[in-house]
Each structure stands twice: as C-alpha cells, then as structure tokens.
C-alpha cells in the first residue's frame, strides 16, 4: 500500500491509481494538462520517499531533482510532498 503525506492530510493510493488521481480524489487543488509527462504543469516538490520513484511514461518535461510529475510516476511505500508548493 502506498501512503501519501501532504501538509493537509495523509491518504493512500488505490491499486493502479496515479499520484495525480489520488491527489484529485482527496480534494487537492492541482493543475494538470496532459497526464503523460509532456507539460510539467502538475509538478510537485517531494520532501521524502521510502522507495524509489519510477515513471511508467518517461517524462519529457524538465523537472528538478526534488520534483516529481504525479501524472505519470509510480510511487510505493510512503511519500511526503509539499502541499504548499504545488505549482499551479
């Protein structure tokens, strides 16, 4: 089971649910455009993670080492993201 921790809440991802889908399901206001890693508009800052983050679609958008694209990444274990720094 994957747990996501933001400054506002903690929730788990359903099986086969992307991080973006989980954020939207739990009421987080996050911008997104493509769901395929092209635009980068959904990027968030990762604070910590317990397991490696992988991408099921290699993103074309440029991201910093402390950022992830929730639309196309796979997270497992526990991940902490900065709710306040979700880029819209």
Delimit the domains of the chain by residue range: 2-85
The pTM of the whole model exceeds 0.95 = no
Question: Which pLDDT does position 6 carry in this prediction?
Answer: 93
Per-residue pLDDT of the chain (88 residues; tens, 9 = 90+): 899 999 889 999 998 899 999 999 999 988 899 999 999 999 999 999 999 999 988 899 999 999 999 999 999 999 999 866 554 4
Secondary structure of the chain in the HEC alphabet? CEEEECCCCEEEECCCCCHHHHHHHCCCCCCCCCCCCCCCCCCEEEEEECCCCEECCCCCCCCCCCEECCCCEECCCEEEECHHHCCC
Domain 2-85 falls under CATH 3.40.50.150: no
């Amino acid at each position: 089971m994957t747990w996501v921790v933001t400054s506002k809440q903690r929730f788990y991802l359903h099986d086969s649910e992307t991080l973006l889908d989980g954020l939207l399901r739990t009421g987080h206001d996050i911008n997104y455009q493509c769901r395929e890693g092209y635009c980068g508009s959904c990027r968030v800052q990762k604070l910590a993670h317990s397991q490696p983050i992988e991408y099921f679609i290699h993103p074309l958008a440029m991201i910093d080492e402390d950022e992830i694209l929730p639309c196309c990444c796979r997270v497992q274990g526990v991940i902490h993201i900065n709710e306040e720094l979700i880029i819209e």
